Amino acid sequence: MIIPKLKPTNRSREFDSYSDELRSQVIRGWLFSKKTHRELDEEVLGIDKTISRGYQSMGILHFLGLMADFHSFFKGIPEERAITLLRNNVQDFQTIISILEGNEPILNIQELIYQERNEISKAKEDASETRLQRIAQSDKRPKRLRVYSYTYHRNSDIIIEAQLRAHGICENCKQPAPFERISDGSPFLEVHHINSLADGGEDTLDNVLALCPNCHRKKHYG
């Protein structure tokens, strides 16, 4: 059995809007039956299919890479057998398998970062005594979380050319790189996309800057 190629998209809005339980039902409906996106919207997500036109289920499935060629692909095959086939495939089906098996929740890493920032902001408002009391009562070992994230394969030629263009000088603060790499003695500058790839920015020399670590962090968090 030749399993189709995953073709995940970057849009996570619909995926993030529903629980793992509803996601799993959408995935099952798509892989193991002939239900359409519209039918899944109505029967699983409880949405009027004449209004949603199937876009909610489609968004969940497309984010995971489950396009049309996966529709009813495992129809008539036991779920346990299908999961084994996915697990043994060269592609990474782990997120889909985890949702189907009902394992620990999978969090969007960007949501986790946002959550931690909010918690830090709130903690700053408390008195030091209050924070120390919470520390004394907190678990010494942090809770382990499963997260998912998609990234972009950047053009290595652009990274190198941007660093060479900078001649060891940060293209923002105009100061020399803070140190040299042990590996090859080159100035340590990080390549930053002016318009982020996640927002549709291009991976081109015109859209990147070679920055010192401080300026790079300032671009993201300042």
Residues 115 and 193 in one domain: no
Report if residue 61 sits inside a domain.
yes
Same domain, 20 and 98: yes
Predicted local confidence at residue 221, as pLDDT? 86
Range of the domain at 125: 109-148
One domain for residues 62 and 99:
yes
Domain check: are 38 and 81 in the same one?
yes
Domain assignment present for residue 144? The answer is yes
pLDDT for 44 beyond 60 = yes
One domain, residues 113 and 130? yes
Residue 55's Cβ-count burial label (10 Å; 0-12, 13-18, 19+) is middle
Please report whether residue 8 resides in a domain: no
CA neighbor of 40 nearest in space, from 19, 61, 13: 61
In a shared domain, residues 178 and 117: no
Whether residues 43 and 93 share a domain: the answer is: yes
Asked whether residue 2 is assigned to any structural domain, the reply reads no
pLDDT at 105 over 70: no
pLDDT digits (tens, 9 = 90+) for 132-179: 998 988 888 776 666 666 677 889 999 999 999 999 999 999 999 999
Q: pLDDT category, 103, cuts 50, 70, 90?
A: low
Q: How far apart are CA 117 and CA 121, in angstroms?
A: 6
Give the orientation angle of helix 94-101 with respect to helix 79-87, to 10 degrees.
Answer: 150
Q: How confident is the model at residue 213 (pLDDT cuts 50, 70, 90)?
A: very high
pLDDT at position 199 is 82
Q: How confident is the model at residue 43 (pLDDT cuts 50, 70, 90)?
A: very high
With respect to residue 83, please indicate whether it lies within any of the assigned structural domains: yes
Are residues 141 and 89 located together in one domain of the fold? no
27 & 78 share domain: yes
Distance CA 65, CA 9 (A): 7
Name the pTM for this structure.
0.51
Is 79 in the same domain as 29?
A: yes
- CA 62 to CA 15: how far, in whole Å? 9
Interval 93-116 mean pLDDT: 79
Q: Mark whether 31 and 76 lie in a shared domain.
A: yes
| Total domain count, the chain | 3
Lowest-pLDDT range, 6-20, 47-61, 90-104, 204-218? 90-104
